[in-house]
Structures are given as structure tokens and as C-alpha cells.
Amino acid sequence: MKKTGILVLALAFISMSFNDPSKTFKDILKVDVSSSKITWKGYKPVGSHAGTISLQSGSIVIENNQIVGGFFTVDMNSIKDEDGNSKLEDHLKSADFFEVESFPNATFEIVKTENKEGKTFVTGVMTIKSVSKEITFPATVSETDSSFTLTSETFKINRAEFHVKYKSKTFFNDLKDKFVNDEFDLQVTIVAKK
């Protein structure tokens, strides 16, 4: 009788542990870099330039069908100008801008997400040229049987915060109209396969 009582208690404990609503299942999905996309656009008084840059690798963490974490590595050598201007591409890779010979990668780590007003607000730490800053941007998340896709709205990054100094009014006060805006646009689409 004693053994039966212990067995019943053990089974009840096991059952409770499997049905505990506070316990959640997390899954780590690999990012499909060929299906993912990052676009950028920079501004100056007399115009703008736009292009793309590629992910090198990445993963996202899923909990209760929501993206709750992730880590992404960007290949800074992949900077492209949409007009195919190789001189501009080389300049962006140089010490004037992103200094890719010394800093070949940038990274972004999701530290939290918050759902409100039908959007997912993603907060993470972006690291460019070994400088790390926390940023938040709005995005939508969609799911199919085979993938999760995170699509950001266009958001702004201040390059001066990452010590990208070329013709920046933050560092030089005598540029007049020969400056390049500190803020540039980013838009990110991340596709992760289940």
C-alpha cells in the first residue's frame, strides 16, 4: 500500500510538471541568409544613395510562436550601391566610413520584443566598429508552415554614435553644405526556416 501511494504521488508530480503553464518551449531557428535582406539609404543636402548589405549568419529564438531573441552577423564587405557605383562602395568600406578591413562584421542581438498595436517592437544591441548601442524598431512577424519572417519598418541609425565620422556635423563644425547626414535608413527582412 505504501509503494502504491508513493507511485501515485510520483505520477501526479510528473503530470503536474508536464502541464505547468509557466513552463514554455523555446526553439532556435537558423536564418536563411539567401532569403533575408537588408537595405540602406544615406542622405546629403544634394541627394541620397541607397543599396543593400548581406547577412553572413543568424538565428532567432521562438517561444510560444513569438520571436523572443536572436543573433545576426552582417558581412560589411557585402555593401552594395543600387546603382552599381563601385567607387562609392569602396569609399563606404574605407576608414572614412565602416573600415571593413579592421571591422569585417557588424552584429545585432535581440534582447527583448514587445507586442503592441498590432506590431512587434524589437529591442536589441547593434555593434558596428566595436561600438555597441541599444536600438528599438517596429516590425511585423509572419509565420508559415515552414518559416518565420520578421519584416521591419524603415528605421534610422545614427552613424556618429558608431564613430563613423566622414563629413559628419557631429565631429566637424565647418562643413557648411558639404556634410553627409549622420542618420541613415535601414530596413530589414529576416527569414528563418523551421
Does the pLDDT at position 9 exceed 70?
no
Which grid cell sits at 105?
562584421
Residue 23 pLDDT grade (very low, low, confident, very high; cuts 50, 70, 90)? very low
Separation CA 127–CA 66 (nearest Å): 24
- Phi, psi at 88, each rounded to 5°: -65, -45
What residue segments make up the domains of the chain, in order of their start? 24-193
- Whether the full predicted model's pTM is greater than 0.75, yes or no, is yes
Q: Which residue has the cell 563606404?
A: 92
Q: Which fold has domain 24-193?
A: Lipocalin (2.40.128)
- Of 32, 38, 82, the closest CA to residue 57 belongs to 32
Strand partners, 26: 63
Rg (alpha carbons) of the chain, rounded to whole number = 23
